[in-house]
Structure 1
Amino acid sequence: MKKEPLWTKDFLGVSFISFFLFVVFYILLTTLPIYVLEDLNSSESSVGLVTGVFLIAAVLCRPFTGKWIDVIGRKKILLFAVAIFFISSLLYQLASSVTFLVILRFLHGIGFGMATTATGAIVADIIPDRRKGEGLGYYALFMNLAMVIGPFTGLTIVQFTNFSWLFNLCLIMAIIAFILSFIVHIPEASPANNESKNEPSGFSISSFFEKNAVPIAIVGGILALAYSGVLSFISIYANELGLIEAASFFFVVYAAFIIASRPFTGRWFDMYGENRIVYPAIILFAIGMLMLSFATNTFFFLLAGGLIGLGYGNLSPALQTIAIQNSDSSKSGLATSTFFTFFDSGIGIGSYALGVIAVYTSFSNLYLILAGVVLLAFVAYHFLHGKNVLNVQKQAKQQLTKNIT
């Protein structure tokens, strides 16, 4: 059977929109703390506020965006969201006070949350059904690359020039994303609108969360909470170990392992099912966190980064694929927003809660605890989804045996 095409201009267009959105996100995530402390002469508490308000805005708008995508339409929501993102990027040059910056970050978070929810739903519609796991894996790879390119670019610019240049670069990327949003052809899921019209018009939780995506979204939230410990504290931990030079290469190795594995893991997901990917990936993630806890030299520190990339880097697209496949095709937007709402909440809660825990223990112990959290996600996945898949496979084998005999 001839494979349906994956690398179409529309798939690439949506992937590059996501890439530029995430590059801007990671550039600002790593450099704005410096801007707040040095250029605005503010305090560390203001740094937390500037970072946190962005994630809060993104989380708050995702459930609404998921509903609007399926009712109003993907193209309209994407254009509106990227327009907000573009306007926000334009206003950073005027951010001369913490108050203005906090308001701007909230607006920017709304644009980011809406736009990334929209691109996630759109790309799920563009990818052929038989290549969902492979396609979403490659789509996630664009975000993984942004995770490496963004911080490296932002910190390099700040080191050799000023924030005016950095804000201009972010604006250029936002403009490119905005232009691509007009060019890319976005299929509209017509059945969604009919189903949505038959639903009650009043407020209900089910209007903003896809119930069939919630179980796997819970697993994603637990894993994201564990990963927030890496995202938030890896540079501090590296400095504590005397490996600060290695810290800049941690996410490079992380991305390298993802890039090397992605051509295989996505196809295996489609060919052999989700359990063959998710169970081993969670184990690799846990081993990576455990190795990070006991790392004493550059080799083991970077190897831990590679194993975390191989594990967690493949889990995110796999779980998103499951969330979409478990839901009605007319609710892919709602399923996507549900998954990322739990995912972002895990990152946000983890960043704060783990910071509090770190005050009372060492970072080495913190990563040991997080290895246990990852194993908790293993148990949660098994009972919330994996067990059902095994039962279905068992019944299919029994039926096949019965037919043969």
Structure 2
Amino acid sequence: MKDRLWTRDFIIVFIFNFFIMLAMFLLMVTISGYAIEAFGISTSNAGLAAGIFIVGSLIGRIVTGHQLSLMGARKIMYIGTVMFIVTYGMYFFAGNFWVLLVVRFLNGFANGVATTAVGTIAALALPQARRGEGIGYFSLSFVMATAIGPYLAFSMLEHVDYQMLFLLVFIVVLIASVFTIFIKTDNETIDLSKEPKPRFQFLDRDALPAATTILIVCLAHSTIFSFIALFADQQGLGAAASYFFLIYAVMMLITRPFTGRLMDLKGANIIVYPALALYFIAYMVLGNATTGWMLLLAGALVGLGYGNFQSIIQALCIKLADRRNVGLATSTFFICLDFGLGVGSYIFGQLVPFLGYGGLYNSMTIIVAIAAVMYYFVYGRKEKYLSI
């Protein structure tokens, strides 16, 4: 029983994280269309309505990481949950585009606060000897939301308007929030009456070197989220593109629990290097895709490569941190992930006029190679438990 993964608290945070991620994706893929329809703005401004959520989430994580050691993850989770309910309710009162931007920012901030706290509680609810496996399972809550959210959002809009979509999302968040009152797990906090208040930190020094590798990888990965639909349309592969993220998600669902367990037994290297190799190949296949099966093969390879690299690095960041800093390490990981996804598409989007989408994806192999070299120097060469 001591090494049991699926405890009550772990199950609750898994369900809660799935629903808050589902709510995020339901609006992430539809808010641009809503902004254009409701306020008659340009496409670029509509993109801002989607992107400012990530900015808010990033700032929420920066603020939360430090406070976890002072207030405790459970209290932070309650604060984030209340903010979630309030900010999802504010969509009904966004009467113009600028108010909508404020709501999206605050909604993203709430997302950063709540998900950082929930991720910390999930890690602490796991037995240390099986933490890699457990993080692999927990991350599936995000994967499932990624696969279901966009599909469900577009399907719903065929039958309801945006206001009804907002209402349904609000109800989902409200119902999911009820589960959190039953959570007992919490992190160690600092007693300010016995020791001085620590200086403000928004990054964990022990976790940061490993976290920088996910930042580099996410710079490349952002190009998939941003340009895969445009690339597929250009290649005449629009029908296959609709299944790209489904295949991507299925590969992660199948492999993450096993790779997490393997990390616990053999160390991170045995997963990270093959995952990065598969991710490298994925970009080669994607950059040269001319048929539907090549596009779907690329999706499968991305799921196997990026999908497993992400969960292993998250577990590694937590493993490297002091137990009292699990929350800060979790925040550090997500700050790097969000930053990479947030700025990567803007940076590499500048290359599209010169390289085309295919050339852009081929060039991402360089970024993956840089990440592999960086991983080797910050952690890989120090790994003690690699088994060939």
TM-score (norm 1): 0.92
Question: Are residues 208 and 198 of structure 1, via their aligned partners in 2, closer, same or farther at CA, if it must alter by over 3 Å?
Answer: farther
Following the alignment from structure 1 to structure 2, what is the Cα–Cα distance between the partners of residues 141 and 104? 28
Q: Partner of 1:157 in structure 2?
A: 156
Q: Partner of 1:189 in structure 2?
A: 187
Q: Partner of 1:293 in structure 2?
A: 287
Q: Partner of 2:306 in structure 1?
A: 312
Task: Kindly provide the CA deviation profile for residues 99-154 of structure 1, in whole angstroms up to 9, marking residues without a partner as x.
Answer: 11000001101100011111111101001111101100010011011001110011
Following the alignment from structure 2 to structure 1, what is the Cα–Cα distance between the partners of residues 257 and 103? 39
Question: Are residues 197 and 355 of structure 1, via their aligned partners in 2, closer, same or farther at CA, if it must alter by over 3 Å?
Answer: farther
- 1:93: how far off? 2.0
Matched position secondary structure for 2:28:
helix
- 1:188: how far off? 2.4
Task: Kindly provide the CA deviation profile for residues 148-205 of structure 1, in whole angstroms up to 9, marking residues without a partner as x.
Answer: 11100111112332112211121112112311121222x2233x425996455455xx
Question: Are residues 127 and 214 of structure 1, via their aligned partners in 2, closer, same or farther at CA, if it must alter by over 3 Å?
Answer: same
Task: Kindly provide the CA deviation profile for residues 326-382 of structure 1, in whole angstroms up to 9, marking residues without a partner as x.
Answer: 110010000111111111000001122122222332100110111221111111100
- 1:295: how far off? 0.7
Give the residue type in structure 1 aligned to 2:304.
L
Following the alignment from structure 1 to structure 2, what is the Cα–Cα distance between the partners of residues 155 and 338? 33
For residues 126-165 of structure 1, the aligned pairs below 5 Å read 126-165=125-164
- Conserved? CA contact 2:2–2:127, under 8 Å: no
- 1:225: how far off? 1.0
Q: Partner of 2:213 in structure 1?
A: 219
Q: Partner of 2:253 in structure 1?
A: 259
- Conserved? CA contact 2:60–2:111, under 8 Å: no
Structure 1 unaligned segments of length 5 or more: list them: 397-405
Question: Are residues 202 and 134 of structure 1, via their aligned partners in 2, closer, same or farther at CA, if it must alter by over 3 Å?
Answer: closer
Higher helix share: 1
Following the alignment from structure 2 to structure 1, what is the Cα–Cα distance between the partners of residues 122 and 152? 27
Structure 2 unaligned segments of length 5 or more: list them: none
Q: CA RMSD in A?
A: 1.9
Q: Partner of 1:401 in structure 2?
A: none
Q: Partner of 1:400 in structure 2?
A: none
Matched position secondary structure for 1:4:
coil
Following the alignment from structure 1 to structure 2, what is the Cα–Cα distance between the partners of residues 353 and 66? 27
- Conserved? CA contact 1:70–1:196, under 8 Å: no
Following the alignment from structure 1 to structure 2, what is the Cα–Cα distance between the partners of residues 176 and 386? 43
Q: Partner of 1:403 in structure 2?
A: none
Task: Kindly provide the CA deviation profile for residues 20-74 of structure 1, in whole angstroms up to 9, marking residues without a partner as x.
Answer: 1111111111111111122221112211321222111111121220111121011
Following the alignment from structure 1 to structure 2, what is the Cα–Cα distance between the partners of residues 145 and 387? 34
Task: Say which is worse superposed, 136-145 or 60-69, in terms of deviation.
Answer: 60-69
Q: Partner of 2:319 in structure 1?
A: 325
Question: Are residues 387 and 67 of structure 1, via their aligned partners in 2, closer, same or farther at CA, if it must alter by over 3 Å?
Answer: same
Question: Are residues 200 and 263 of structure 1, via their aligned partners in 2, closer, same or farther at CA, if it must alter by over 3 Å?
Answer: closer
- Conserved? CA contact 2:283–2:364, under 8 Å: yes
- Conserved? CA contact 1:88–1:108, under 8 Å: yes
Check if 1:69 corresponds to 2:68.
yes
- Conserved? CA contact 2:121–2:187, under 8 Å: no
Following the alignment from structure 2 to structure 1, what is the Cα–Cα distance between the partners of residues 150 and 221? 17
Question: Are residues 356 and 158 of structure 1, via their aligned partners in 2, closer, same or farther at CA, if it must alter by over 3 Å?
Answer: farther
Matched position secondary structure for 1:188:
coil
Check if 1:357 corresponds to 2:351.
yes
Q: Partner of 1:282 in structure 2?
A: 276
- Conserved? CA contact 1:21–1:174, under 8 Å: yes
TM-score (norm 2): 0.96
Give the residue type in structure 2 aligned to 1:330.
R
Give the residue type in structure 1 aligned to 2:190.
N
The number of residue pairs the alignment matches comes to 388
Following the alignment from structure 1 to structure 2, what is the Cα–Cα distance between the partners of residues 274 and 7? 23
For residues 12-23 of structure 1, the aligned pairs below 5 Å read 12-23=11-22
- Conserved? CA contact 2:26–2:149, under 8 Å: yes
Question: Are residues 379 and 199 of structure 1, via their aligned partners in 2, closer, same or farther at CA, if it must alter by over 3 Å?
Answer: farther
Check if 1:38 corresponds to 2:37.
yes
- 1:92: how far off? 1.3
Question: Are residues 290 and 199 of structure 1, via their aligned partners in 2, closer, same or farther at CA, if it must alter by over 3 Å?
Answer: farther
- Conserved? CA contact 2:134–2:257, under 8 Å: no
Matched position secondary structure for 2:5:
coil
Question: Are residues 211 and 242 of structure 1, via their aligned partners in 2, closer, same or farther at CA, if it must alter by over 3 Å?
Answer: same
Question: Are residues 93 and 242 of structure 1, via their aligned partners in 2, closer, same or farther at CA, if it must alter by over 3 Å?
Answer: same
- Conserved? CA contact 2:58–2:112, under 8 Å: yes
Matched position secondary structure for 1:193:
coil
Following the alignment from structure 1 to structure 2, what is the Cα–Cα distance between the partners of residues 195 and 322? 29
Q: How much identity, in percent, do the aligned residues show? A: 36
Q: Partner of 1:123 in structure 2?
A: 122
Task: Kindly provide the CA deviation profile for residues 267-324 of structure 1, in whole angstroms up to 9, marking residues without a partner as x.
Answer: 1111111000111111111111111001111111001001100111111111011101
- 1:393: how far off? 4.8
Matched position secondary structure for 2:158:
helix
Q: Partner of 1:209 in structure 2?
A: 203
Following the alignment from structure 2 to structure 1, what is the Cα–Cα distance between the partners of residues 102 and 292? 40
Following the alignment from structure 1 to structure 2, what is the Cα–Cα distance between the partners of residues 349 and 195? 37
- 1:231: how far off? 1.0
